[in-house]
Amino acid sequence: VTLWFGIMECSTGKVVSVNAGHEHPAIRRAGGRFELLKGKSNFVIGGLPDMVYEEYEFVLNDGDSLFLYTDGVPEATDRNDSAFGLDRMIDALNIDGDADPKTLITNVENMISGFVGDAAQFDDITMLSIKRPSKKANQ
C-alpha cells in the first residue's frame, strides 16, 4: 500500500508528512506556479516488517496550495497506451494556479478526459486540493 500522510497545524501552516511510496504532492507558492514537492520517500506500507518511516516538514504559507493525487492521474492512458504524465498534470494545475481547489481539480479532470478520449479507465483517479487562505482574504 502506498500512502502520503500529512498533518497541518492550521495556525502556522506547518505540515509534518510521511510518504510511503506514494506520488509526490504538487505545491504552489502564492503568486507562483505548481511544482512537485519532493520530500523524503519511504518504502510502501506493509512491505517490510518493523519499517521505520522518516517524516519531512514544510510550511504551507498564506495563499499556498497543495495538490494530492493517486497514480491513476499521471498513469491515465489514451488509446495508444501513452500516459498522461506528470508534466501534463502540472500544466493542468497551472491553467489557473490561483483558482480554488474545486476548479483546480476540475481543470485536471478535464485535461485527463481530453487526453484519454474514449480509452477505458484502468485505475482509480483520486485528487485532493487544499488552499491556505491569504490574510487579505480574511480581512
Q: Considering only residues 98 and 137, tell me which one the structure prediction assigns the higher pLDDT.
A: 98
Per-residue model confidence (pLDDT) at position 81: 94
What DSSP state is assigned to residue 133? P
pLDDT tens column, 50-101: 999 999 999 999 999 999 999 999 999 999 999 999 999 999 999 999 999 9
Indicate the pLDDT class of residue 121, thresholds 50, 70 and 90.
Answer: confident
Measured CA to CA, the distance from residue 90 to residue 36 in angstroms comes to: 8
Grid coordinates in use for 132? 491556505
Per-residue model confidence (pLDDT) at position 128: 97
pLDDT at 137 over 70: no
Tell me how far CA of residue 85 lies from CA of 54, 74, 94, in angstroms. Answer: 27, 4, 15
Indicate the pLDDT class of residue 127, thresholds 50, 70 and 90.
Answer: very high
Q: Considering only residues 123 and 138, tell me which one the structure prediction assigns the higher pLDDT.
A: 123
Indicate the pLDDT class of residue 131, thresholds 50, 70 and 90.
Answer: very high
pLDDT tens column, 18-30: 999 999 999 999 9
Measured CA to CA, the distance from residue 15 to residue 8 in angstroms comes to: 4
Per-residue model confidence (pLDDT) at position 134: 84
